[in-house]
Chains A and B, each alone.
Chain A
Amino acid sequence: MRSFSIFVIVGSLVFLSACSNNGTPSGVPITVSVSATPTTLNPGQTSTLTASVTNTSNTGVTWSISPNVGTLSSTTSNPTTYTAPATISATTPITITATSAASSSSSSSARVAVLGPTVSLSISGTPAAPQTVNLGGTLDITATPLNTGSTAVAWSLSGVGSLSGSSGSSITYSAPIAGPGTATITATSGSGTTIGTGKLEVTVLASGAGANVAGLTVGTGPVPYANGVLTSVLVCAGGSTTNCQTVDSVLVDTGSYGLRVLGSQIAELALNPVNYTDGSQINECVQFLDGSFLWGGVYAADVYIGSEVASGVPVQVIANPTGFSIPTTCSNGGTNEDTQATLAANGIIGVGAEPFDCGTACDPTGGNSSPPAPAYYASCTSSGGCQPVFASCGSECNDSLPLQQVTNPVVAFSTDNQGTAISMTAPAGGAAPTATGTLTFGIGSQSNNALPSNDTILELTAGFDEFQTSGLGTAPPLLASFIDSGSNGLFFPNWLSLTICSDNTDFYCSTAGPVTVLNTSEVNGTSGSATFSVADADTLFSNTSNEAFTNLAGPEQAGSTPAACANNNGTLSGDCTFDFGFPFFYGQTIFTGIDGQVVSGPVAPTTPFVAY
């Protein structure tokens, strides 16, 4: 069952500019919408495509398909039938477009996937995302061959642990009783050109594994990435349990909200775009503190992590547009991170303290007369370019429109949706090639995610998700501190008189600490201390094998002196921050409670909050 309803109607329209003639006397735009049933096909199967056209008496459409794979029973009848080719070598998404006969610039598309030879893996009837299991634990895995011409399955294993057998449709994986590590289980079916495989990654932990747990690693990504903490997810087309792809090396980011994936990593998925009520596709531009940006369309997907699933959740697919350029207000002078090399990952999963990546500022009922400009969400039509537009955050924003904003997947889980807990094993000696840990979903919802009563619990400012930090030297409090697993160091103003590295002014090149500061909630005044140390970054980076660093830190330059953090009239301003980046996560468990969610139990702070 879907937790969120997505507007299935897909279309685009000619808009109200002076640019073009939509062909109707009244000027009301012609809209087209298309539905496909079913959306996942085996070779040779058919899907019924139905188009509806509004605001014109001419309901005729012309159909086209892209790529030109498979056939349409008719390019003009409505409905029409798409027939998948009799054979296909690999799963291929097909875009089927209906163009209005009354207006050639009014069109709409639906996506279907034609499945190639593959083996679908499931656990307890659910598509199997990468799993965690404790030492001595087991996993029962079922394989369903598809389009391989055979029902026989052969299993193999690489990595730690063992399998109960080597053939059959179901198998049990047994983790070793000692020696945490990773394993990949492969199921193969068929032969020759119809051979299909399915793979499942398993992370064996000394402890802490579970259905609501995903594994975390530093140092295992596609490029060296100091303190880049990564996980793996399974992404499926909405409503499909077979059109799925595993995406590895996704950055886990408590400083952002929503799943963003390189389009190149999910090329087999027939995701449907999330559109506006006028039918145009929603595109989004997000920017980061370092000036980099991501551009991509918003699509609905089923996202599986551990044994959790976020059904029909809006995600951003990072891909450059064709036919027009990314608006310069999006690039904004920054760096496009649209490749594995520039992003240093295959995606970002934002599991921070907010449910939506924009909130009421972008919502049409949020009280603003116009959407944010430069554009955060943009409607990009086939002839009119990109315009900033509102995007709904749905019922949680008291908006009756369907959800359109990219959404923190955790709030879309049916349970375990209050927030997360991140636990990370500190690298021995403060630096190592890799580090491991866990991302646990839910707060107070399972036996493994109770909020400890003696934790420091900081209720955060809603929307901004910040708190105060005092005690850094003798300076006044920093008013906009935040905890952010996506920052790869501790970044704070240089009030400890540390040396800034001459070869890289982003980091400190002196040692300090342990330093204890006091973090205080700006919501209710509760406080707790935090302790950190600083190591010489040049020394850390000199060992090029290492990527996990406990004491990596650098300057937050705005606060070069305490005076720079005060208002003009001498009162404190919010301009200076302590960014508790990923080093803060080593050796402890940090909870993030999501704004709008409710935590129950003996320890039940009001969201949003962080706790450690």
Chain B
Amino acid sequence: MQTSMWGITQSVAVRLKWPGAILLTLALSMPAFAALGGDEASVEADRAQMNATVEVTKADNYSVHEMKTSTGVIREYVSSDGRVFGVAWSGQFIPDMRQLLGTYFQQYSAGVKAQHDAGPGRRPLSIQQPNLVVVNTGHMRSFRGRAYDPGLLPQGVAATAVR
């Protein structure tokens, strides 16, 4: 067992604890993580996980579920047929991307790595793929960004609606 001067030596395997509230279980195959690409129930899962209040605003063929915590805001954009097609965030911290991007998370992670591998230099995150767009900017204690699947945008709804 190697002791690193800077790390902590563990003599037993450690199980990580997820922060936040226990997720609601509403249906048989409730996704633990959800949002983008998920259904409306997954929005409720996110809200519970974040311990947030939610306010719903209806537009023509989609609704915006805005969740506020003491440190920021997350908006989830849900089409009339109950599909989350976009998410946006603004606040002191970058949100839990696994929670927010669901099945798109691995693709997001690969996009972050690709941008990092392109060369040193802090610049806004930009992932522009046919089925996933993720952008993020800001600085320590203040970040804002958005993610959407262009293929899931409802009829007549522009990508700029996700904000």
A333-B112 CB under 8 A given contacts A374-B93, A480-B144? yes
A255, A317, A565 pick with most chain B CB within 10 angstroms: A255
Q: Contact check: which of B20, B94, B139, B161 meets A352 at CB < 8 Å?
A: B139
Q: Contact check: which of A290, A385, A504 meets B112 at CB < 8 Å?
A: A290
Instruction: Give bound CA distance, A465 to B140, whole Å.
Output: 10
Q: Contact check: which of B70, B116, B141, B159 meets A292 at CB < 8 Å?
A: B116
Task: List, in ascending order, chain A residues with CB within 8 A of B121's CB.
Answer: 225-228, 344, 487-489
Nearest CB in chain B: distance from A436 CB, A = 19
Q: Contact check: which of B4, B14, B118, B126 meets A384 at CB < 8 Å?
A: B14
Task: List, in ascending order, chain B residues with CB within 8 A of A361's CB.
Answer: 70-71, 92-93
Nearest CB in chain A: distance from B126 CB, A = 5
Nearest CB in chain B: distance from A192 CB, A = 28
Contact B141 A358 (CB under 8 A): yes
Instruction: Give bound CA distance, A342 to B117, whole Å.
Output: 9
Instruction: Give bound CA distance, A568 to B118, whole Å.
Output: 35
Q: Contact check: which of B14, B71, B140 meets A286 at CB < 8 Å?
A: B140
A-B contact pairs, 19 of them (CB 8 A): A95-B3, A223-B120, A289-B137, A291-B94, A322-B4, A322-B8, A329-B96, A332-B96, A333-B105, A361-B93, A372-B92, A382-B9, A383-B10, A383-B14, A484-B122, A491-B137, A561-B160, A563-B160, A568-B163
**With A506-B126, A579-B139 already in contact, 10 other A-B pairs whose C-beta atoms are closer than 8 Å:** A223-B120, A291-B116, A321-B8, A335-B116, A368-B71, A374-B96, A385-B15, A465-B142, A565-B163, A575-B144
Chain B contacts with A in 103-160, Cβ cutoff 8 A: 105, 108-109, 112-113, 115-116, 118-126, 128, 133, 135-146, 158-160
Task: List, in ascending order, chain A residues with CB within 8 A of B126's CB.
Answer: 505-506, 555, 557
Contact A323 B57 (CB under 8 A): no
A257-B5 CB under 8 A given contacts A289-B122, A558-B145, A568-B57? no
Task: List, in ascending order, chain A residues with CB within 8 A of B9's CB.
Answer: 322-323, 382
A374-B142 CB under 8 A given contacts A288-B122, A557-B126, A560-B160? no
B5, B8, B143 pick with most chain A CB within 10 angstroms: B5
Q: Which residues of A are in contact with B by a Cβ distance under 8 Å?
A: 66-67, 93, 95, 223-228, 255-257, 263, 267, 281, 283, 286-292, 296-297, 317, 319-325, 327-329, 332-335, 342, 344, 350, 352, 354, 357-359, 361, 367-368, 370, 372-376, 380, 382-388, 463-466, 480, 482, 484, 486-489, 491, 504-506, 554-558, 560-561, 563-568, 573-575, 577, 579, 581
